[in-house]
Amino acid sequence: MKKVTINLHLSLLLGLLSLSGFAQQDPQFTHYMYNTTNINPAYAGSRGSLSMFGLHRSQWVGLDGAPTTNAFSVNTPLQNSKLGLGVSFINDKIGVMSENTLAVDLSYTLDLAGRNNNKLSFGIKGSANLLDVSYSKLNLHNPTDPQFSEDIANEFTPNIGAGIYYHNDKSYLGFSVPNFLETKRYNDNVQSTMRTKMHYYLMGGYVFDLNPGLKFKPAFLVKAVEGAPLQVDLTANFLIQDKLTLGAAYRWDAAFSGLIGFQVTDGLMVGYSYDGETTKLANYNSGSHEIFLRFELFNKYKRIVSPRFF
């Protein structure tokens, strides 16, 4: 594998920071179909159980300063109501920058007519972000540049978001904007760095029963943000005997992925994915790895016959 010098990596990082107002900043997940509350608050409580989810992602392994993400979430329906509640935490690191985001989600679900248990949920999200940037760790070309003269430590920014989520026993479709507020962590009236913009998410999937022991679920996630290319994730998963999940995914003009998951018990699932880059970055890293664990508690009135596929 080709190596890149530290100075080049830092130059790339500075370029990312200075252009971040025009790029996608939200963490990306290959297992987006299991990590839904992070992007759509209307999903909270939709599984009918107390659901706990943890994920670790190492992106572009072998590239200095490459992103690493840790995510944890809990969501549950509130008893004897149409409300759902969720709490999530994300730590996202890239180079000398680290962000911690804590979010609370609240959903309300309407039961619709139909034979497939149709439901329509609305959700709101409130989040708090803490940003750290250690400019002092960089080998700056111009150390006197006031833009990078002081480290950023625990800079707080609040945000709000919303989403809508339709689902039944076989399909789901959701649209969300997790962050409505644009934030500017540095602004000298000439340029703005680390500026976040609204991200728009559209996601959906459908489950086909191919035979009693085999289900097939195609799914998609579309992410749009002003000033950046449209990002499209296409995924195809097979569920075998309600236990083993095998799948493949394609992130448009970015990466191919292989996915595997295993339903250890009705309430416990583990999964792993590997992303191989299709861009020139493939020359400088050995791919991206993602692993997750989901644990669910079902009450005695809502025990499941077979695990949900979404």
Q: What is the mean pLDDT of each run of 10 residues along the chain (310 residues)?
A: 40 42 66 93 94 96 92 94 96 92 97 85 96 77 62 87 95 95 60 69 96 95 89 96 96 95 94 95 92 84 56
Residue 172 DSSP SS3: strand
Which residues are CB-contacts of 159 (< 8 A; sequence separation ≥ 6)? 126, 127, 128, 129, 178, 179, 180, 181, 183
Which residues are CB-contacts of 184 (< 8 A; sequence separation ≥ 6)? 21, 192, 194, 195
The pTM (predicted TM-score) of the whole model is 0.85
Q: What is the predicted pLDDT for the residue at 65?
A: 86
Q: What is the predicted pLDDT for the residue at 26?
A: 79
Q: What is the predicted pLDDT for the residue at 11?
A: 41
